[in-house]
Structure formats: structure tokens, C-alpha cells
Chain A
Amino acid sequence: MKRFAIRMLWSIGLVLAVIFLNFSLIHLAPGDPATVIAGESGAGDPAVIEQIRADYGLDRSFVAQLASYVVRVAQGDLGDSFFFNQSVVSLIWARLWPTILLVATALIFAIVVGVLVGIFTARRPESRLSHSATILALAGYSMPVFWTGLMLVILFASVFKVLPISGMRDVQFDGGMLASWVDVGEHLILPAFTLGFLFLAQYSRLARASMLEVLQSDFVRTARSKGLSERVVVYKHALRNAVIPVVTVAGLQFGTMLSGAILVETVFNWPGLGRLAFDAVLRRDAPVLLGVLLVSTLLVIVVNLLTDVVYRLIDPRIRVGGAAT
């Protein structure tokens, strides 16, 4: 319990560090901070610049500005976007859930299928299917994720016209609640697969290596010596030990997944944070960009904490924090 509290404290410290980083970036960037904050849209208008200067207190000392900035963020004020004419927080809030949906689906897909493939290739390392799986895996994480997405779009737009290739919902949608969920689901398939495929490759290799190692361990030999069927040995005894590294890595890679999501959302027009970031970049809209950076980092920190919890649930050795002799 105490350790968890310490980690929470440290996580808050991390968030503060990122806020500080954001703040520094605004001031380190070339040009007047007020222009930076105004972005392309606001910079032309002197009234807007004056307003920003007043709001952010840009004439005060560095420390005073930093303090007021931190206070603003803590109160949930991430500034305003002049292009979208909305507060950054409201913009982010609207796009947050589509991104979480996308990333969560991709993650579950990548872990489940990755582990299954890993188990299969570990048990039958010489089969042709295993070799193909290994090669496919290697290819998977060498492909630029946006290219994979584009290839899939071409495939499903011109050849197999069965799945929607853009957006999260049908533009002319007109059904009830359940149908709406199905609609979103249909739109989710390609983007989630694209994002998941990248990591699937990695997790299957990791699961394979881990499973191979676990299958050589003594307790697997013991399980076999008790007369348990090979199926029970693999899925009950070996699996739980073998997934530990996969779960750990998956958790640690959440940040990379968010990065991938930016590209996937852009390709598939998925209305999430990634798309928002892309739009903001085009307009040099600093408050939105920095807001997205902060929120994404927050997500990463939360997921890291969650991974720790899950890890402890799976592996009892970590729970008590030490072995007896």
C-alpha cells in the first residue's frame, strides 16, 4: 500500500514535470510567446495578441508566469484554440473517447491474438505456419503504420468493398442505439486492426520467446510428471507465467500506441485526439497541441500505474515484495 502511495506521488510529480515542459516549450520556441499561443489564426489580429498577453500575464517574471500557468492547468483550463474557437478542454473531451475506444480495441486484439500466435509457434517451432507467422511478425513492426493503413484502405475501397474506410459513423446514419453501436463497430474494425497489427507482431514474438523459455522450466516438467494433459500444461501452467512479459511490455508501450493512433486516425479519418493533433499542427495551434500532449501523457502515466496493478495480480511473487529463503 505504501509503495503504491509513493508511486502515486511520483506520478503527480511527473505530471508537474510535463506541465513545466509545456510551459518551457512555449517560451523556448522562436518568436514571441504570445504569437506562439495565438497560432496561425490568432497571430494576425493585434487585439487577440493583447488579450493573450493580459490573460497569461506575459509581462511578468518567469516564475510568476510558471506559477499561474500551473494553477490554470490544475483548474482544468488548458487555454483556448483560436482556430476552432473553443476551449482546448472541450475540444479534447469530445475527441478523447474515440481514441480510447480505438486504442483499447487495438490493444486487446494485439495481446490476445499475439499470445495465441506465440503459443502456437512455440509449441510447433518447425511447422511452416510457424515460419510464416514469424516472418509476418517481423514484417508487421517494420511497416510504417500509416502505410499499412493506406494499403488496407485501398484493398477495402477497391477490392473487398465490405467495410467502411473512413470516419467513425455513417454520415447519413439514422437508426437507434443498438444500430448505432454496430455502425461504430464496423467503422472501428479497420483502424483497430491496423493499429493492432503493428503491436501484434511484437507481442507474438515476445510471447513465443517467453513460452519457449517457460516450457523448458522445471515446474512444467513437474506438471507433466503428474500426468496432466499437454493442453492443461500449456494453458494452465505455462501460459500464466509466459504472459507476464507480454503484459508488462504492452503496458509500457502505451505511449507508442498513442503515437500510432495519431497516424491511424489521420488515415482513417477517425475523430480522435490524434486527428485533433494533426489538425492543430497544420494550424500551428499551440494550446491544442500542448493540451493534447499533456492529456496523452496523463493517459500514459495512468496506464503505467494500471499495468503495475495487473502485473501484481498475475505474479504473486511481486505482491508480498520478496521471497522467503
Chain B
Amino acid sequence: MFFRNKAAVAGLFLLLGVILMTFLGPYFYDEDPKDIVARPLKGPGTEDVPGLGTDYLGRDVLAGVVNGGLTSLRVAAIAAALIVMIGVTIGAVSGFYGGVIDNALMRFTEVFQVLPALLFAMVVVALFGPSPWKVSIAIGLVLWPQLARLTRAEFLRLKNMEFVKAAQAIGSSDLRIIMRVILPNALPPLIVATTLVMGGAILLEAGLAFLGLGDANEVSWGLMIGQNRTNFITSWWTVTFPGLAIFVTVLSFSLIGDGLQDAFNPKLRGR
């Protein structure tokens, strides 16, 4: 079903492309993105200048694009893992137990929901330092509420169903019911949400890097754009290509997420 959706398959290929470029690219194109290779701010196609031009320091833009993905993907992946762990746990407990626990947890969630995401991440990184781990944690802290709400909604919907009562009747422990009975059935929308969250995490990481809050020692796409801001109007290649890379990566996640949602929920396609 998923594979019939052309856009979704395109997304899958795009993502594969990005991953291949990120992990294998540096072997095939082994210019060091931090090396100064030519005169600064020379466009693509100019003599003595590598593929996509040079940035404000004279570094290779193509090398930056090829290598920059690693940081972004790594940070986003760790953040996504955090988001899923925190969000699903809180959502599951809240939805399953209901009552006072649900109320308390939802209030707690609401506090994090009203904080504007990027701003809060900025504050955390500004105060605690921009190491990649801290950035991942900051992003995780900011995006988990959506996943918690979704998990909670699914649990509320599923917990009154027959198969759950059956499991309770044979004496399964709460933990077992949550993890092995309800959760597997809640997976489809959670998987969709996770792919979309990955996209969001990448955008957030890029935004932070752009603002100068990423790890300054590692090359990342957002950082490239941020560093080349002063001359970008005349040296468009310094910001266009890294941005394109971010766009393609996030787009691939969006397409995949969309395709998954379609596959799980054909009604929404509309005739």
C-alpha cells in the first residue's frame, strides 16, 4: 500500500540518497570541508574552484554539503529517540491510568507545550553550552509534548477494547498490557508522528546552527548558512546548496510520513 504511493516512494529514495551521501560521500569526495582550498566567495564554474564554489573563508561548499549531513542527522536522531522515549512513556501512562495521574501529567505536558520551541532550545543552549548532546537534549525537551498527546489519545481509545479486557482477565500486569498489548496496536499513528518529528528535529537543529548555537567545531548545513550570511546576496551558492540539502532531507521525511499515513488510513485520500 505504501509502495503504491509514488510520492512516498520518492521520499524513501531521497532519504536513502541523503543517507548514502552522508555516510559514503566523504569517501568518494574526500575534501576536508574545513580546508581552505581556493579564494573565498568564488562561484561554481569559476576556474580553479571546486564543484559548488567556495564560502567566505575559501572552503569547499560541496565538501560542506557532503559532510554536513552527519551532524544534523546525528543530532536529530538522538533528539527523536529522546522525544519518543519521553513522549510515549508519559502519554502511555497518562492514557492508561487516567484520573489524577492523567491530569497531573497533562498539566506538566502543557507547560512544555506553551514554550515556543526554538526559543526554549535557544535559552537552554545559551545557558548550558552548545555541545551536540546538549543540543539534542534541548530539542528533545521541546518536541516531546506532541508525541505524548498522540500516545495518550491512542491509549484512551484502545484501553477499553475487548482484547485489553481479555488480557486483564488473565491477570497480565499493567506493564505487560501497556507494552505488549496496547502499544503494538498504537504503533501506526506513532510511527507516522515519529517520521514527522524527525523532520522537525532536523529543522530545529538547522535553525539553532544558523543562529550560531550549534557545535561550532563540526560542519553542519545550518551553520554554513549562518556563517555566510553577510555576503549571501552576491554569493548565493554559499547558502543555497546547504539549504537545499536540509530541504531535501526534511522533504523525504515528510513524504515518507505522508505515505505511511495514507497507507494506514486510506479514507483521508479522498476521491
Contacts and interface: CB of A to CB of B under 8 A. Distances in A.
A262 B111 contact: no
Nearest to A300: B114
Interface string A137-168: 01101111111001101100110000000000
Contact of B123 (A14, A260, A263, A289): A289
The A interface, classified by DSSP as helix, strand, loop or mixed, is helix
A146 B116 contact: no
Contacts of B268: 209, 212
B126 A138 contact: no
B123 A255 contact: no
A151 B127 CA distance: 31
A18 interface: yes
Which of B115, B119, B120, B271 gathers most chain A CB within 10 Å?
B119
B22 interface: no
A147 B251 contact: no
Contact of B118 (A135, A157, A263): A263
B211 A266 contact: yes
A14 B127 contact: no
B255 interface: yes
A286 interface: yes
Contacts of B271: 125
B114 A18 contact: yes
B247 A154 contact: no
A274 to B, nearest CB: 8
Interface string A30-68: 100000100000000000000000000000000000000
Given A138-B254, A141-B254, A151-B240, A296 B116 contact: yes
A106 interface: no
Contacts of A141: 254
A286 B125 CA distance: 11
B122 interface: yes
Given A150-B243, A263-B207, A25 B236 contact: no
B114 A25 contact: no
A17 B110 CA distance: 10
18 contacts: A14-B110, A18-B114, A30-B129, A125-B271, A138-B258, A142-B254, A145-B207, A150-B243, A158-B233, A209-B270, A255-B116, A255-B117, A259-B116, A281-B126, A284-B126, A284-B127, A286-B127, A300-B116
Interface of A: 10, 13-14, 17-18, 21, 25-26, 28-30, 36, 122, 125, 135, 138-139, 141-147, 150-151, 153-154, 157-158, 208-209, 212-213, 255-256, 258-260, 262-263, 266, 277-278, 280-282, 284, 286, 289-290, 292-293, 296-297, 300-301, 304
